[in-house]
Amino acid sequence: MSLFFQTLISGLNLGSIYALIALGYTMVYGIAKMLNFAHGDVIMIGAYSVIVTVSSLGLPPVIAILIGIAFCALLGVSIEFLAYKPLRKASSLAVLITAIGVSYFLQNIAQLIFGTQQLAFPKIINLDAIKIGSVQIDGITLVTLCVTAVIMVLLTLFINFTKIGKAMRAVSEDKEAAELMGISTNRTISVTFAIGSALAMIASLFYGATYTYIKPTTGSMPGIKAFTAAVFGGIGSIPGAMLGGIMLGIIEQYSKAYISTTMSDAIVFGVLILVLLVKPTGLLGKKISEKV
Amino acid sequence: MSNNYEHKPKLVPYPSNAFVPERDLGKRPVLEVNHLGIDFGGLTAVDDFSIIVGRTEIAGLIGPNGAGKTTVFNLLTNVYHPTRGSILVDGMSTAGKSTHQVNHMGIARTFQNIRLFSNLSVLDNVKVGLHNSMKENFFAAVTHGFGYGKAEKKADKEALEFLDFFHMADMADAPAGSLPYGAQRRLEIARALATSPKIILLDEPAAGMNPSETAELMENIRRIRDNFGIAVMLIEHDMKLVMNICEGICVLDHGKVIAKGTPDEIKSNPKVVEAYLGKAKEA
């Protein structure tokens, strides 16, 4: 029984990280109708930014995190401006290939600056583990869960009740009509990239704290998993990304604990295939009706 | 089709060869379009389109299917960028502007097939329209919560007033997609009006409406002009509506203007009868 709950906690922890990253994928897809495969690499850049600010420059963690968030938001906006904006009217395949190109570009930049060796991620969250019965919850896990929950609530409020949130929903439904109502789609897309990248940075903190080492390809696997989570939950849907991320994390940890560590990824992707067979739009995905 | 309309608008010459309603004389026209044209590849969709719309004029744009009427609307809003010609909104050129900037300059529009944000509530649709008159930005939203809440309340109130104008305030919280057809049409107009335009373009506002709904629409179009003091330009196939409320009418055929004038002038213009009204006379 202890293993069951312990696994649930670690599943929630991993799932929170996936969910935070998946939000970036799903928001960008919902609004710009593109898959930003460079999104995973923003996590890696975010993690390196903490290594530079904390380990090398010795800045206090809070400042380091704020710098990292600002840097990643700026990075996301710049990527969109330089790589994707010129392709606004191009085919989605061209944009997809470009995104993959940006992903390799970021990985190679990181390799050039930091080398191929993995670097230790500084310990910036020092919190004692708590014990509930026989289940032990690490301090970092607790922070991850709480911060993710708060972010999800804030993001939901932001999307539903602010002017920019409404603009984002309008643009995601009908870009042209939104333009004609005076909304700048370019600005809305920039804001979306900024938010998505900032969330990726926060995810990188938890990822770094859980896995403790960072290398230039660190972003790929969580990136792919988070993309899977976004599709699993229904790409374009924000609650879907949250649910998909958490469920994927839990499934992965249970597979590791009860079935097989080496097979866990296969099981995760198997579940994805099953869900998509039964519900092609994902768990909370909207039905796409073609207008004739 | 009866030819007896009580509606007999009078147009007076504006500087040279264009006409505006008498009450708009001496004021700068809201829309001045000169020799507008667009080619798609080798196809000329609209050519040499010129029109002057007075500040509070109700103008009609009519013509057979495929004449290029919606293309004109797309050109006026810079959804398509014109190959030739110029557009002045209240004296300012729209050349090189993006669509949302053209909206900020004072052009709002509705669509031939309704394009509401159907997953947003009715109120939120109008608030999206209010978007550009609300001054808060992203950082204001994050930093001063109280001021923001106040502005949101103000926006709610304003949005409700727009809904009330169309007698649909009681539907404010429903998702826009769930409204009946007629209400969706009204909401689209409310959303466009919320962007505080100087001229509103209505693309076939009466499409799919029954006679009583059309009568209500005509009344609403007049109320829009009188209450907001703005110009209305509409594309419509319902000749009764056009002849009853439009002051200046422009007839388009094969991308070219074939006639311009008051409803009476248009009705008696042989070119128009040949291209367009001929069909209606048979009925």
How far is A117 from B157, CA to CA, in rounded Å?
59
Q: What are the boundaries of each domain within chain B?
A: 1-106+197-283, 115-196
Residue B283: band (very low, low, confident or very high) from pLDDT cuts 50, 70, 90: very low
Residue A39, pLDDT score: 94
- The answer to the question of residue A262 being in a domain is yes
B256 and B270 in contact (C-beta within 8 Å)? no
Between B234 and B143, the more confident residue is B234
Residue A4 has pLDDT above 60, yes or no: yes
Confidence (pTM): 0.85
What does the pLDDT read at residue A138?
A: 87
* A157 inside 8 A of chain B by CB: no
**Residue A208 carries which DSSP code?**
H
pLDDT digits (tens, 9 = 90+) for B55-89: 999 999 998 888 889 999 999 999 999 999 999 99
What is residue B150's predicted lDDT score, i.e. its pLDDT? 74
Which of B128, B150, B154 should be substituted to probe chain A, the one whose Cβ sees the most A Cβ atoms within 10 Å? B128
Task: Give helix B181-193 / helix B145-165 axis angle, nearest 10°.
Answer: 130
**Would the pLDDT of A42 be above 90?**
yes
Q: What is the token pair recorded at A191?
A: 């804001």
* CA-CA-CA-CA torsion sign (B99, B138, B116, B61): negative
Contact B111, B136 (CB under 8 A): no
Give the mean pLDDT of chain A.
Answer: 91
B119: chain A residues, CB-CB within 8 Å? 169, 173, 286
**DSSP secondary structure string, A57-107?**
T---HHHHHHHHHHHHHHHHHHHIIIIIGGGTTS-HHHHHHHHHHHHHHHH
- pLDDT at position B14, please? 66
- Residue B259's H or E segment, with its range, is strand B256-261
CA distance A43 to chain B (A): 24
pLDDT at position B86: 92
Q: Per the structure, how many domains does chain A have? A: 1
**Which among A167, A186, A286 has CB closest to B128?**
A167
- Res A292: pLDDT: 41
**pLDDT tens for each residue of A118-163:** 999 998 877 888 888 788 888 889 999 999 999 999 999 999 888 8
Asked if residue A59 is part of any domain, the answer here is: yes
pLDDT at B272: 82
Structure tokens at A45: 């850049």
User: How far is B145 from B140, CA to CA, in rounded Å?
Assistant: 8
pLDDT of residue B67: 87
Judge whether B144 is closer than 8 Å to chain A, CB to CB. Answer: no
Residue B89 touches partner A, C-beta closer than 8 Å: no
**Whether the predicted pLDDT of A176 surpasses 50:** yes
Residue A85: HSE in the Cβ half-sphere, 13 Å Cα cutoff: 14
Question: For residues A132 and A6, what is the distance between their CA atoms, to the nearest angstrom?
Answer: 10
Residue A283 pLDDT > 90, yes or no?
A: no
Model confidence at A290, pLDDT cuts 50, 70, 90, reads: very low
Residue A13 lies in a domain: yes
Per-residue pLDDT tens digits for A225-245 = 999 999 999 988 899 999 999
> Beta B31-40 vs B58-62: how paired, if at all?
unpaired
User: What pLDDT score was predicted for residue B275?
Assistant: 77
> In A, residues 72-111, which contact B (CB 8 Å cutoff)?
none
Question: How many CB pairs below 8 Å do chains A and B form together?
Answer: 83
Least confident of A175-179, B25-29, B277-281: B277-281
Please name the residue that has the structure tokens 């230039």: A216
Residues of A in contact with B77 (CB under 8 A): 180
pLDDT range class, residue A190, cuts 50, 70, 90 = very high
CB of A70 less than 8 A from some CB of B: no
- Measured between beta carbons, the chain A residues lying within 8 angstroms of B103 are 179-182
> Tokens 């704290």 sit at which residue?
A209
Token reading at B50: 């010129």
Task: Name, in order, each residue with C-beta under 8 angstroms of A276's C-beta and a sequence gap of 6 or more.
Answer: A231, A282
Residue B280: predicted pLDDT: 47
What percentage of chain A exceeds 90 in pLDDT? Answer: 68
Q: What is the pLDDT of residue B140?
A: 53
Distance CA A266, CA A5 (A): 23
What confidence tier does B278 reach under pLDDT thresholds 50, 70, 90? low
**Local structure of A213: helix, strand or coil:** strand
Over 90: is that where the pLDDT of B22 sits? no
The answer to whether the CB of A84 falls within 8 A of the CB of A77 is: no
pLDDT at B17: 57
In a domain, A138, yes or no: yes
Q: Is residue A287 in a domain?
A: no
Q: What are the respective helix, strand and coil percentages of chain B, to the nearest 5?
A: 40, 25, 35
Q: What are phi and psi of A271, to 5 degrees?
A: -65, -40
Please name which of B49, B37, B31 lies closest in space to residue B102, comparing C-alpha atoms: B31
Fold assignment, B1-106+197-283: Rossmann fold (3.40.50)
- For residue B200 the two structure tokens come to 């509103």
pLDDT of residue A129: 82
pLDDT at B282: 46
Name every chain B residue with its beta carbon within 8 A of the beta carbon of A177: 111, 115-117
The ipTM (two decimal places) reads 0.79
Domain with A186 in it: what CATH number? Answer: 1.10.3470
pLDDT value for A125: 77
Name the region of B26 (left: φ>0; alpha: ψ -120 to 50; beta: rest).
left
What mean pLDDT do residues B9-19 have?
68
Q: Are A238 and A23 in contact (CB under 8 A)?
A: yes
Q: Which two tokens stand for residue B1?
A: 């089709």
Of A208, A244, A192, A195, give the one whose Cα is nearest residue A22.
A244
Confidence class for position A207, pLDDT limits 50, 70, 90: very high
DSSP string, A104-118: HHHHHHHHHHH-SS-
- Return the C-alpha torsion angle A99, A104, A109, A112, nearest 10: 180
Q: Find, in chain A, the residue whose alpha carbon is nearest to that of B114.
A: A177
Predicted confidence at residue B134, as pLDDT, reads 55
* Nearest-by-CA chain A residue for B177: A173
Distance from CA of A180 to the nearest CA of B (A): 6
Domain range enclosing A129: 2-278
Q: Determine how many CB atoms are found less than 10 A away from the CB of residue B174.
A: 14
